[in-house]
């Protein structure tokens, strides 16, 4: 089967959707078989974000769409190439083209643009929601990254269940242990001290620093946590700021936390396991997630997790994390304190979280996605 994979977020430091695109392509190639995978990229930077694929039997080729003007390549170049009959089926991994001569499947990553429009500038929300609605209405199959996304999408848009499939995100082998837990933690702490100059114990957040991720409340809760715990602890933020990062600098100045909150900016995905393993607690108080990949990445690294009790996060955590009200600074601070100070709880969270994380792999994601391709290729137009 000739499958076109239209990637939009690759090479853009775009968090979960970018990780999804890169890891899905990697694992689809590793599955082997006689499928022909053609990855359509918007620029050379996206092309270069994919590591060379050398394993597996599947044929993988990359095609940079021209010209470099995105709206032209998406609205004209890609549909023209599809019209030429280069593929049997298209996978739109984030948004579909405005017009597609080929039938396609569409990945629904998140419902936040509909549930919380206030997190997005109006122009971006209007364009993104229009693309999502088009994908939902025209795709043969809709691949939802969680049951939460599936249920909300089906209810709002009155979609029949036979067009929706839940295919969870995953973690790569790089997050799974290669030595004993304590040995890996000691090695990771040494590497973090050498690479980033972080010598104190720290709590970790991974993700873009934007309004939906609830970073301001996280900093405020960290301030309360430090007052209660009584020892020097840092908060490490691994992720770049976005256009909705307002309030971070003001909060750091107001609470005098400049020296205690360390921003590392965007990091390569391969650098994250070391940060997770060396952290005392991973804190992810997002106000809305379609899945929440960092939660299971941290669990795979034997790190206790504190996360929100909203959207898909309880589903993904599966009872293996401390759940908190992300709108309450007090509740968030209390959850951080419990996960940091309660020795018995930490042992339980590490063990249960690790077992939970092993259920989510990109290999499984790829297998189920390939099965969806084969199913969609035999379906009639919705």
Q: Using one digit for the tens of pLDDT, what is the confidence trace for 234-290?
A: 999 999 998 778 899 999 999 999 999 999 999 998 999 999 999 999 999 999 999
Q: What is the pLDDT of residue 54?
A: 46
pLDDT digits over 305-350, tens only? 999 999 999 999 999 999 999 999 999 999 999 999 999 999 999 9
Please tell me the pTM assigned to this model. Answer: 0.94
Which H or E run contains 92?
strand 89-92
The three-state secondary structure class of 125 is: helix
**Given this chain, do its domains 2-170+362-377 and 174-357 carry the same CATH topology?**
yes
Q: Taking the domains of the chain in order of start, what are their residue ranges?
A: 2-170+362-377, 174-357
DSSP 300-338: HTT--EEEESSTTHHHHHTT-SEEE-TT-HHHHHHHHHH
Query: What's the residue count for the chain?
Result: 382
Q: What is the pLDDT of residue 41?
A: 95
Burial, 32: exposed, middle or buried (Cβ in 10 Å; 0-12, 13-18, 19+)? Answer: exposed
Which tokens in the block code for residue 367? 């297998």
pLDDT digits over 157-174, tens only? 999 999 999 999 999 888
- Which homologous superfamily does the CATH classification assign to the domain defined by 2-170+362-377? Glycogen Phosphorylase B; (3.40.50.2000)
Q: What is the pLDDT of residue 81?
A: 93
Which tokens in the block code for residue 218? 């996280």
The pLDDT of residue 382 is above 60: no
pLDDT-derived band at 380, boundaries 50, 70, 90? low
- Which homologous superfamily does the CATH classification assign to the domain defined by 174-357? Glycogen Phosphorylase B; (3.40.50.2000)
The three-state secondary structure class of 207 is: coil
Residue written as tokens 């076109």?
4
Max CA distance (Å), the chain: 66
Which tokens in the block code for residue 295? 């939660």
Angstrom distance (rounded) from CA 256 to CA 190: 28
Question: Please, which residues have CB within 8 angstroms of residue 94's CB and are 6 or more apart in sequence?
Answer: 7, 8, 9, 17, 21, 107, 109
Q: Give 107's strand partners.
A: 143
Q: What's the distance, CA 38 to chain centroid?
A: 23
Which tokens in the block code for residue 129? 């929601």
Burial, 121: exposed, middle or buried (Cβ in 10 Å; 0-12, 13-18, 19+)? Answer: exposed
Which tokens in the block code for residue 77? 């170049």
Share of the chain above pLDDT 70, in %: 97
Which tokens in the block code for residue 333? 């601070």
């Amino acid at each position: 089967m000739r499958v076109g994979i239209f990637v939009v977020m690759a090479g853009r430091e775009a968090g979960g959707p970018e990780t999804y695109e890169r890891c899905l392509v990697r694992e689809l190639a590793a599955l082997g078989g006689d499928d022909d995978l053609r990855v359509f990229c918007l620029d050379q930077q996206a092309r270069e974000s994919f590591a060379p694929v050398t394993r597996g039997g599947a044929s993988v080729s990359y095609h940079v769409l021209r010209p470099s003007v995105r709206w032209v390549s998406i609205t004209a170049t890609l549909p023209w190439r599809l019209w030429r009959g280069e593929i049997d089926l298209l996978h739109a991994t984030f948004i579909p083209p405005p017009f597609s001569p080929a039938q396609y499947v569409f990945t629904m990553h998140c419902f936040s643009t509909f549930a919380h429009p206030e997190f997005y500038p109006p122009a971006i929300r209007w364009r993104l929601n229009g693309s999502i609605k088009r994908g939902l209405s025209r795709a043969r199959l809709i691949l939802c990254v969680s049951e939460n996304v599936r249920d909300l999408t089906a209810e709002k848009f009155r979609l029949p269940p036979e067009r929706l499939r839940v295919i969870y995100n995953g973690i790569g082998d790089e997050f799974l242990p290669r030595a004993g837990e304590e040995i890996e933690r000691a090695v990771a702490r040494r590497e973090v001290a050498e690479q980033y100059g972080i010598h104190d114990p720290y709590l970790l957040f991974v993700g873009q620093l934007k309004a939906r991720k609830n970073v301001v409340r996280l900093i405020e809760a960290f301030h309360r946590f430090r007052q209660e715990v009584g020892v020097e602890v840092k908060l490490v933020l691994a992720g770049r700021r976005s256009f909705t990062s307002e309030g971070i600098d003001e909060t750091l100045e107001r609470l005098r936390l400049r020296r205690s909150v360390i921003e590392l900016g965007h990091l390569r995905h391969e650098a994250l396991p070391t940060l997770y393993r060396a952290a005392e607690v991973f804190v992810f108080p997002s106000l809305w997630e379609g899945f929440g990949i960092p939660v299971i990445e941290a669990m795979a690294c034997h790190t206790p997790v504190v996360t929100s009790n909203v959207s898909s996060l309880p589903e993904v955590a599966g009872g293996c994390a401390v759940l908190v009200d992300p709108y309450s600074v007090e509740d968030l601070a209390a959850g951080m304190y419990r996960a940091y100070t309660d020795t018995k709880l930490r042992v339980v969270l590490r063990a249960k979280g690790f077992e939970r994380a092993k259920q989510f792999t990109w290999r499984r994601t790829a297998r189920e996605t390939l099965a969806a391709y084969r199913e969609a290729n035999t379906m009639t137009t919705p």
